[in-house]
A and B are shown apart, each in its own frame.
Chain A
Amino acid sequence: MKRNLESIALKSIPIRKKPVLEVVNVSKHFDLNGNARSVLDDISFSAASGEMICIIGRSGCGKTTLLNILAGFLMPSSGVVKVNGRPIRKPGPDRCVIFQEDTLFPWLTVRENIAFGLRSGTIGDKHSIDSEVDRFLTLVRLHEFQHYLPREISGGMKQRVAIARVLILQPQVLLMDEPFASLDYHTRREMQNLLLAIWMELNQTIIFVTHDVDEAITLADRIALIDKNSGHIREVLAVPLSRPRKTEIPEYIFFRKNLYESL
């Protein structure tokens, strides 16, 4: 079984362009009552422009911690994260996050939520902001709900607003922390397809954290496995399946079985 995995890993897609995101030897440990507990150990990988990378691991393996470090909410204990070659120091609109829970502003309508980031900067006059917001409302198919408040729309719609709200800022990297985990099966599938469509249209670099094997295989160009015990990236697998991915074909089932067993 081990050999199979290696042979798949060898087929890894060569990196075409210079990496947008580089994670270099990142480690993180927390102090618990004087005992340092290591969560992430010497994590290194990079993402090329337009690449979709899934980070998969069992719960408690430090996936969310890693994403918080990439976002700039946490500083790594050692190592460095670079975007376009520049080390990051704090959160910024070049690395936007979609959280698992609802983080829309409840006092703003769908439209106002999407416009929030643009209004906070100095960029653009009112007219160009309006047309940008319209474009992204259409992209996530929420035009007819633009004047609704977050509490009046469903969980899937909320996540679509969250996606539009950050994509409008044209981030270098989109970070997603199990964004569809709290949705039901059908909505989750719809959201995955919508994300893929958006990803292809915008050529957006995406780091997607999940614990769901199928979700990872459906979405990713490459899958990074984090080991729960060591907090280390055990391997980075290229997904050798053409898009759109069909779940019934033997290659999918074979790859899924291998991935599942190595978790």
Chain B
Amino acid sequence: MKKPESAKGYYSLLPWIIPGAFVSVWALFSYTGLIPDYLLPHPLTIIKTGYGYIFSYNTSSIYSGRFLSDAEASLMRVFFGFICATLCGLPLGVLSGRLATVNRLLNTFVNGLRAVPGITWLPLAMVWFGIGIKTTVFLVALAAFFPIYLNTAAGAQQVNIRLLQAGAMMGVGRIRGTFSILLPGSMPNIITGLRLGLGISWAYLVLGELTGVPNGLGAVIMDARMLGRVDMIVVGMLIIATVGRLSDGLLVTFLKTCFKSARRMS
């Protein structure tokens, strides 16, 4: 979409209108005292707490300057969980999308498993892996697997058989056909699957960090709840929203940089 120059500034403002309005209404409620501070702190308190959490200017707070170590811990958990989910979900998705036998073999099992809410795995995961990174990685991997697997399978299934036939007649074998026709052809669905998977990874990160691990963005939120620090809870939520949005953008950029099909088909 090409827009005239004058409309461009307005267009780039568009995504910020709703957040801006939201914060304004929030500030209004706080000023007038309609909502007490212990339920929803003033936006300025949030900014102050967030600033201290990230840049550690106020050393009196117990959360001061913890951001880097928390973010690092959480990013590692999301990263490893997401990678595990991708390594299982992509190949199985391609196989089950193309081969009726594999589809029949996997479908009942995967859909049965999918019907079990992720949170019910928490107790079992704690028994198996104890408290720490492994439980969280397991939960993240499990949750992210389903959207990746299902979307990849749908994408592989929708690839026009004529494209594969065209490849076969041009002397492309099965292995090369998979990498140079099937995967690029399923790319739009694969991207959707990976983005949904990464999104849900952040949700399950917080779930995994509820178990009392000492650091992590989710752990900070739970910690703040126990200490009644609502401002810190909100800061944690905002940071997860920001990091989640950034990681999504990073994922899309990465795919578009590495794959022609991702650049040209979406």
Q: List 19 A-B contacts (CB under 8 A).
A: A71-B165, A71-B169, A72-B169, A73-B165, A91-B165, A92-B169, A95-B169, A96-B170, A103-B163, A103-B165, A105-B181, A106-B265, A107-B264, A116-B180, A117-B171, A120-B170, A120-B171, A149-B264, A166-B169
A101 in contact with B170 (CB, 8 Å): no
Residue in chain B with minimal CB distance to A73: B165
How far is it, in angstroms, between the C-alpha of A26 and the C-alpha of B245 when the chains are bound?
Answer: 60
Report if A9 contacts B (CB, 8 A): no
Contact with B along A113-133 (1 / 0, CB 8 A): 000110011000000000000
Place the interface of chain B in its size category.
Answer: 20 to 34
**What's the Cα separation between A155 and B134 when bound, in Å?**
54
The residues of B that contact A107 with a CB separation of less than 8 Å are 184-185, 187, 260-261, 264-265
Q: Give residues of chain A (68-124) contacting chain B, Cβ–Cβ below 8 Å.
A: 71-73, 90-93, 95-97, 99, 101, 103, 105-108, 116-117, 120-121
Cα distance A71–B165 in the bound complex, in angstroms: 9
Asked if A97 and B169 sit within 8 Å, CB to CB, the answer is yes
Q: Give the residue of A73, A105, A120, A149 whose beta carbon is less than 8 angstroms from that of B176.
A: A120
Instruction: Tell whether B160 is near chain A: CB-to-CB under 8 Å.
Output: yes
B243-266 to A contact mask, C-beta < 8 Å, 1/0: 000000000000000001100110
Smallest beta-carbon distance B179→chain A, Å = 11
Question: Which B residues lie at the A interface, using CB under 8 A?
Answer: 160, 162-163, 165-172, 176, 180-181, 184-185, 187, 260-261, 264-265
Closest to A93 in B: B171
User: In whole angstroms, what is the CA distance A169 to B185 when docked?
Assistant: 23
Q: A108-B260, A120-B176 are in contact. Are A103 and B162 (CB under 8 A)?
A: yes
Q: How long is the Cα–Cα vector from A209 to B261 in the complex, in angstroms? A: 33
Give chain A's interface residues, CB within 8 Å of chain B.
71-73, 90-93, 95-97, 99, 101, 103, 105-108, 116-117, 120-121, 149, 165-166, 169
C-alpha spacing A149/B181, complex, angstroms? 16
A97 to B162, CA, bound (A): 10
Q: Which residues of B contact A116 (CB under 8 A)?
A: 170, 180
Min CB gap B164→A, angstroms: 10
Give A258 Cβ to nearest chain B Cβ, in Å.
35
The closest CB in chain B to the CB of A171 belongs to B169
Question: Which of A90, A105, A121 is the one whose CB lies under 8 Å from B168?
Answer: A90
CB distance from B169 to the nearest CB of A (A): 4
CB distance from A21 to the nearest CB of B (A): 15
Q: How far is the CB of B140 from chain A (nearest CB, A)?
A: 30
Complex Cα–Cα for A103 and B185 (A): 12
Collect the chain A residues with CB atoms within 8 Å of residue B187's CB. Answer: 107
The answer to whether B166 touches A92, judged by C-beta atoms less than 8 angstroms apart, is no
Instruction: Check B163 against A105 for contact (C-beta < 8 Å).
Output: yes
The answer to whether B166 touches A97, judged by C-beta atoms less than 8 angstroms apart, is yes
- What distance in Å separates the Cβ of A89 from its nearest Cβ neighbour in chain B? 12
Q: Given the complex, which residues of B lie within 8 Å of A101, measured CB to CB? A: 162
